[in-house]
């Protein structure tokens, strides 16, 4: 768990910003470019942003990227080009309530809904009968676990990767505006449905791999790694350099990408 002073700090800054009514900053050129290179599909009444890039000609493999809290699909920008050199399709979305996707209020945000949105995107792209590789982080890990639970009822094969799988014991501290409180229900959902989601990992018949930054404050070393290996002894693990923390795909994109591709290429 995070130290109390870190939690207080993470709470104070955004609350002060809300209190002072500080307007959101303008989008950077990089974010504008990211948005313009993507598109939208409709899930029920919600507009969901996604990015879908054609990649390697000689590959038929597809990877879907699931981002964490409180960020967006842009978390993957540093490894995007590298993934397109290995995969035929590289796809990422902004979960509802995040990034460029709609942020309805009031709304009951749930991991189950986010998983259904991923399934909706896969159907929208005509990929629902194909094998999908899932690359997930943080909040996206729990969505991936729900998808794994559902995939046990079908013939689809999901190949999963979980950096910092917080459903096994870590928690994520975040801001507490009324809107974000509704999104933050995922923390309670993790506790309530722990058996369902950890059970999905334990009973998985597909390859699992963890890429871990030892300096991660959300899932501290060595306790988290010991727990992960105990719960999932068949999963393979890559431990990055000692200075890598909770966002390995941004902090060490080369090491991260190499670890993931070594996993994918091992079978």
Q: How distant is the alpha carbon of residue 4 from its chain centre? A: 25
pLDDT on residue 172: 31
- Neighbouring C-alpha atoms within 13 Å toward the C-beta of 147: 32
Q: What is the rounded distance in angstroms from the CA atom of residue 132 to the CA atom of residue 130?
A: 6
**Which parts of the chain have pLDDT scores under 50?**
155-156, 164-177
- Give CA separation, 40 vs 69, 123, 159, in Å: 20, 14, 25
**Which of 137, 159, 195 has its CA nearest to residue 62?**
159
Average pLDDT, the chain: 85
Q: What pLDDT does 160 receive?
A: 59
- What pLDDT does 175 receive? 36
The span from the CA of 141 to the CA of 66, in Å, is: 7
Confidence at residue 106, expressed as pLDDT on a 0 to 100 scale: 87
Specify which residues 54 forms β-bridges with. Answer: 89
Task: Report the distance separating Cα 143 and Cα 110, nearest Å.
Answer: 9
State residue 105's pLDDT score: 85
- Note the pLDDT of residue 187: 81
CA distance 192 to 52: 33
- Provide the pLDDT for residue 39: 98
Q: In this predicted structure, what is the pLDDT of residue 11?
A: 63
Domains of the chain from N-terminus onward: 40-160+173-265 (3.40.50.1820)
């Amino acid at each position: 768990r995070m130290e109390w002073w870190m939690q207080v700090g993470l709470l104070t800054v955004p609350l002060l910003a809300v209190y002072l009514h500080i307007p959101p900053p303008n989008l950077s050129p990089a974010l504008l470019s990211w948005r313009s290179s993507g598109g939208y599909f409709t899930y029920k009444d919600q507009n969901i942003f996604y990015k879908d890039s054609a990649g390697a000609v000689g590959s038929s493999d597809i990877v879907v990227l699931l981002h964490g809290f409180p960020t967006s699909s842009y978390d993957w920008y540093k490894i995007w080009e590298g993934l397109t050199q290995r995969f035929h399709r590289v796809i990422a979305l902004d979960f509802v309530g995040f990034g460029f996707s709609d942020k309805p209020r009031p709304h009951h945000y749930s991991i189950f809904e986010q998983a259904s949105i991923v399934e909706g995107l896969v159907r929208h792209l005509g990929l629902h009968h194909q094998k999908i590789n899932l690359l997930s982080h943080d909040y996206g890990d729990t969505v991936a676990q729900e998808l794994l639970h559902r995939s046990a009822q079908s013939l689809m094969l999901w190949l999963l990767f979980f950096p910092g799988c917080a459903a096994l014991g870590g928690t994520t501290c975040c801001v507490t505006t009324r809107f974000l409180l509704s999104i933050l229900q995922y923390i309670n959902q993790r506790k309530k449905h722990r058996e369902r989601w950890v059970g999905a990992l334990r009973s998985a018949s597909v390859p699992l791999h963890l890429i871990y930054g030892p300096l991660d404050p959300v899932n501290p070393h060595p306790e988290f790694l010991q727990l992960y290996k105990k719960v999932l002894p068949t999963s393979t693990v890559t431990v990055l350099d000692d200075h890598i923390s909770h966002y390995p795909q941004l902090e060490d994109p080369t090491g991260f990408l190499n670890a993931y591709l070594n996993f994918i290429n091992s079978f």
